[in-house]
Structure 1
Amino acid sequence: MRVTLIIASMGAGGAERVLAILANAWVAQQWQVTLLTLDSGDSPPFYDLDPQIQRRSLATSGPSVTLWQAIGQNCHRLWTLRRAIADSRPDVVISFIDQVNILTLIATRFLAIPVIVTERTDPNCHVIGKTWELLRRCTYPWADQIVVQSLTVKQYFPPRLQSRIRVIPNPVLAPRIDAGSGKFHRDAPSGRSLIAMGRLGPEKGYDLLLQAFAQVCDRHPEWTLKILGEGSLRGDLEALGDRLGIGEQVHFLGLVKQPYGWLQQADVFVMASRYEGFPNALCEAMACGLAVIATDCPSGPRAIIRPGVDGILVPSEDVEALAAAMHHLMSDPIARQKLSALAPEVLTRFSLKTVLGLWESAIASVISGAGLNSKQSNP
């Protein structure tokens, strides 16, 4: 099997994490995997990739100053991508994330190569701009299959595409700790800790998390809040913590390649997102046996957490409800233990074997022609 994977870059992110897991697993099955990225490739991949994966950076990303420059750059990007795909001679192409999906569908038009596009967040909430949205509506009918992570995202698309959409969750891997990871924790603040993890962007709701923590931290002075991740809002969030008077109890730890050591030494995981796709961080925390709290935001958490069984769901963007749930678990070690005992079942529910089976069924479908649409007809 020859599969070509396409993504903008291989930095830190949920889509990149899932791509790396799938690519490594398929190489282990003796598949020929080609990875095309649109960036220059100057930065190494954030996630480990098997050396047998054939990587090629197309160096086609970058800003445009004028309209004509944008048109010329996009024509060059599409032509370069089309040639690279053709050169890889794939049995199937799989692209990741909305704008890359659109470019891939245009670049492969009339190449007679099956294409699967994957949405990695909730398009009901994630705005990509009017032009890109129009292009998505025009090009997604050309896809042989569309992979989404939840039924909520599936329902975003029109009825004519529903038969071509598959819901495939992210795989969850068993936690591991690198030999040297313990050094991070010997210097960490002592006492109990809440932990959160993810990109420091507005959709992740860290401002809500800080406000909720500010409501409970006086009653729990021995507790700290650790935040793993990096992003454009870090400075704003640090300033917010200072304004709320919790700066001394909140620790921004930046990007961590292997977060399992931090997760396994925390007491409660909290996710305050405004919207999600299928949050890897939540799954990884549960795999580590953490009691978890998550907002019942559009797409993701409700498909993962079994409320009252292995986690707590609170209404989205409700700071008071989030604070109450945090106070409950911070005060009650028995409640924490009850939730944490069943949380690792996420490893069985979303095992790599199960998710690979779903992906391989989708790939077999488009290759056999069962999922193909009339790509050879005129637009």
Structure 2
Amino acid sequence: MHICHIVLNNIGGAPRTADSLISYQVKAGYKVSTVVLTDLDLLWTTAFKAAEPVIVMKVAGTLFYIGGAIQQIWVAMQLSKVIANQKPDIIICHTAFVTKLFYISQFIPGSLSVPYISYIHTDYISELQVKAKTDSIKALIQNLYITIDNCINLRAMKQASGLVFVCNTLYERWLNLGLNHHRVTISYNPAIPDINNLPLNPIAELWLNDPKLITFVSAARFHHQKDHKTLLKAFAKASQNSLNIRLILLGDGDLETEMQALANSLAIGDIVLFAGSVPNPRAYFSLSRAVILASHFEGFGMVIVEAIASGVTFIASDCPVGPREISEVLECGTLVPPSDVDALAAAIITHVKTPQEKIERSKQIERLFSESSCANRLEVLIQQVVSQSV
């Protein structure tokens, strides 16, 4: 059987999960190919190395906006040609956006009719709400575009041969939009171990190993979704009560420079470390007091599970999808309202004033969040789809 995974890029949770699934499927004896719609980030070029071939379409970055509507059709046309050449037996579309593009590609003359599974990693509904505007003619046009786009997404998912959601609350949000499908699998993303034993950032290592300091870690790209602004303001407020706290930020992104300026303006530039993207975040997690995730919304928030797998607890915003379900399943963690500076600062201060909580959830992690359990759930769904298609 030839399985083809389609991903947007190689950055973030969805590609990491896809990479894990690809490796397991190759080991199981399947032929596995991968189509990457945009260019590969050089920091993560080892992704999808088990797949043969890996086809990178190198699409430009305007796909998500109104001006990108025509480009999406063009990408669908190119994708149709790629799939026709590869002739896979089944397609795995990672994210609702990729599912939509593949669905559109099926209408291109000469396209190959292939059953597809939509693998939903992100809270696409919250993403659309962020983009919606409330004033001006331009806003009305944009909101109309979002409505039409949402209808196409829903149609694309309904036409899929199977659906995979990375958590129950994400599936429930789509149910509220009218999604009704006969073949749905809930599969938590795998808590993937660090890929190497590289040394820590020197300053981070000093902070994390200093018994006089209490250091928190946050791992998230610098994007509006992750709400570093609230995190930095809350940490600044907490630091007024506790002079011995430190914060290490792992990740990069378009807003990094702006957040560095904000940290300096809040007079916490010397106690906040912008450590950049690292391939070994768990090494930082395991030495921290807690991991903080302040997002406006999440697809799931896998970084929280990886923190727990590293033996530490977490503080997270109680956004629509992810952290609450993780907290309930693994019975740990602190939740605060999204965008609430005072609540997040209070949670940080509470963790400073109480003894460090070491978390042991290895059995639950292995049962629910291992790479093998994730691959096995998809395997069952694939077999159901293929057997019906024969």
Q: Same fold judged by TM-score > 0.5?
A: yes
CA–CA separation in structure 2 for the residues paired with 1:292 and 1:143: 36
1:35 maps to which residue?
Answer: 34
2:161 partner letter:
D
When residues 240 and 143 of structure 1 are mapped into structure 2, their CA distance, relative to the original with a 3 A threshold, is same
Equivalent position to 1:276, from 278, 298, 306:
298
Kindly provide the CA deviation profile for residues 327-366 of structure 1, in whole angstroms up to 9, marking residues without a partner as x.
1111212xx32x5234784343322222222111111121
Classify the secondary structure of the residue corresponding to 1:221: coil
Describe the shift of the 1:82–1:186 C-alpha distance in structure 2 as closer, same or farther (beyond 3 A). closer
Provide the rounded CA distance (Å) in 2 between the counterparts of 1:309 and 1:120.
Answer: 22
The 1-side partners of 2:352 and 2:343 are apart by 14
Aligned-partner residue type, residue 9 of structure 1: N
Alpha-carbon separation, structure 1, partners of 2:237 and 2:229: 13
State the partner residue of 1:181: 199
Look up the SS of the partner of 2:85 in the other structure.
helix
Q: Is the 8 A contact 2:4 2:91 kept in 1?
A: yes
- Pick from 235, 248, 252 the counterpart of residue 270 of structure 2: 248
Q: CA deviation at 1:103?
A: 0.9
For 1:57 and 1:257, the matched residues in 2 are separated by: 22
Deviation at 1:75, TM superposition (A): 4.5
In the TM superposition, what is the alpha-carbon distance from 1:314 to its structure 2 partner?
A: 2.2
Indicate conservation of the 8 Å contact 1:307/1:313, yes or no.
Answer: no
Corresponding residue of 2:52? 53
Counterpart residue number, 1:95: 93
Match of 1:367 in 2: 386
Aligned residue among 190, 196, 212 for 2:234: 212
| CA drift at 1:115 | 0.4
- State the TM-score, normalizing by the size of structure 1: 0.86
Match of 2:215 in 1: 193
Q: Go from structure 1 to structure 2 and tell me whether the alpha carbon gap of 1:185 and 1:178 turns closer, same or farther (over 3 Å shift).
A: farther
Letter of the 1:3 partner, please give it.
I
Q: Are 2:18 and 1:19 aligned?
A: yes
**Aligned residue for 2:78?**
80
Q: Is the 8 A contact 1:27 1:53 kept in 2?
A: no
CA contact (8 A) 1:304 1:346 kept: no
Look up the match of 1:132. Answer: 149
For 2:122 and 2:290, how far apart are their aligned partners in 1?
25
- Single out whichever of 164-173 and 262-271 deviates more from structure 2: 164-173
Structure 2 counterpart of 1:149? 166
Name the counterpart of 1:287.
309
Task: State how far apart, in whole Å, the 2-side matches of 1:3 and 1:16 are.
Answer: 16
Determine if contact 2:228/2:259 at 8 Å carries over to the other structure. Answer: yes
1:46-88, Cα deviation, whole Å (9 max, x unpaired): 4543345320112344549xx99963x4444222211211222
Instruction: Report the CA distance shift for 1:296/1:84 in structure 2 as closer, same or farther (over 3 A).
Output: same
Calculate the aligned-residue CA RMSD, in Å. 2.8
CA distance in 2, matches of 1:216, 1:198: 20
Instruction: Give, in whole Å, the separation in 2 of the partners of 1:100 and 1:307.
Output: 29
Deviation at 1:280, TM superposition (A): 1.9
2:266 is the alignment partner of 1:222: no
SS across alignment from 1:126: helix
Contact 1:263 1:285 in 2 (8 A): yes
Whole-Å separation in 2 of the counterparts to 1:212 and 1:63? 34
Alpha-carbon shift at residue 16 of structure 1 (Å): 1.3
Deviation string for 1:126-154 (max 9, x for gaps)? 11651432321343322112222222222
What whole-Å deviation, never above 9, does each CA across 1:92-122 have from its counterpart, x for those lacking one?
1011123221111122357331101122211
Q: What number of residue pairs does the alignment pair up? A: 363
Q: Distance in 2 between matches of 1:289 and 1:41?
A: 32
Q: Which amino acid aligns with 2:35?
A: L
Q: Cα–Cα, structure 1 residues 295 and 179, in superposed 2: closer, same or farther, change >3 Å? A: closer
Q: Is the 8 Å Cα contact of residues 279 and 300 (structure 1) preserved in structure 2?
A: yes
Cα deviation digits, residues 5-49 of structure 1 (max 9, x gap): 011222x21111111111112112222110001224584744543
Shift of 1:4: 0.2
Structure 1: give runs of 5+ residues left out of the alignment: 373-379
The separation in 2 between residues aligned to 1:193 and 1:79, in whole angstroms, is 50
Identity across matched positions, percent: 26
1:25–1:231: structure 2 CA closer, same or farther, 3 Å change rule?
same
Change (3 A) 1:347 1:239: farther
User: Could you tell me which residue of structure 1 aligns to residue 256 of structure 2?
Assistant: 234
CA contact (8 A) 1:287 1:344 kept: no
Is residue 340 from structure 1 mapped to residue 362 from structure 2 by the alignment? Answer: no
- In structure 1, what is the Cα distance between the partners aligned to 2:154 and 2:329? 35
Stretches of 4+ aligned residues off by more than 6 angstroms: 67-70
Query: What stretches of structure 2 of length at least 5 have no aligned partner?
Result: 132-144
Within 5 Å, which residues of 2 pair with 1:261-272?
A: 261-272=283-294
Query: Relative to structure 1, is the Cα distance of residues 295 and 41 closer, same or farther in structure 2, using a 3 angstrom cutoff?
Result: closer
For residues 52-71 of structure 1, what are the structure 2 equivalents within 5 Å?
Answer: 52-63=51-62, 71=70
- Checking the alignment, whether the CA contact within 8 Å between 2:91 and 2:117 is kept in structure 1 is yes
Bigger mean CA deviation after superposition, 42-51 or 310-319: 42-51
Equivalent position amino acid for 2:19 in 1: A
Q: Which residue of 2 aligns with 1:351?
A: 370
